[in-house]
Structure 1
Amino acid sequence: MKEKFNPLTLEEQRVILHKGTEHPFTGEYTDLFDGGYYVCKQCETPLYRSEHKFPSHCGWPSFDDEIEGSVKRVPDADGRRIEIVCSNCDGHLGHVFEGEYLTEKNIRHCVNSISMTFVANEK
């Protein structure tokens, strides 16, 4: 039985299904630092906690850790980068970079806002 996924807009399809990238500094979560977590826009798998998010000033939301088992790393088609996808639905999230020394963990998940939905902590 095939899993049912959330319907996606044309722009969400371009990024999530066809491995596109949203323009830098345009995503709704780039500068959001509220408490909560982020789920995959397509299948709602929890991906990142807000405490993993940090201001990298790169134009996209950045995280230095993921929820265990939620993100897969695959070689990018360009042969130079590592793509990150949702481990449940293989939806494109962005890319992961190491060696930039932006956090103690020395890793940056550079994620398209459009690939995620933010779920705020309950008060």
Structure 2
Amino acid sequence: MPESRSGRAHTARPVRVLDPAIGPRRRRLAALLADMVPGARTIRVSQREPDRTWPSPYARAYDVRGCLVALNRAQGRTAARWVMRVHPEVNWNEVYDLDLATGVLRPAAEAYAVADGRR
């Protein structure tokens, strides 16, 4: 072990493990999207638009009650791109929900399971 100038070995510092769901970048993204889409609580992001066969960033917004919030094409595409860039580790062949209150990204399949009472 390398020694310091005082002759004693450096002590190992504990590694800080940060929860990726609450990182400052992800919280900032959730805040920006909440400002961009007033009234939205959740943004559902996917790599495919429902009426397209080729990959294209796509997002829908939902309010607290689960009702669809209108997004224009630019808002939807921008929101999807931002979420995909902040979460590059995610398999975007699946659909994900971003909770704008907490900044947590979850698979949309979990939301369906909770809504059906299976969870």
State the TM-score, normalized to the length of structure 1. Answer: 0.25
Instruction: Determine which structure has more spread, i.e. the larger CA radius of gyration.
Output: 2
Q: Which has the higher helix share?
A: 2
Q: Which has the higher strand share?
A: 1
State the TM-score, normalized to the length of structure 2. Answer: 0.25
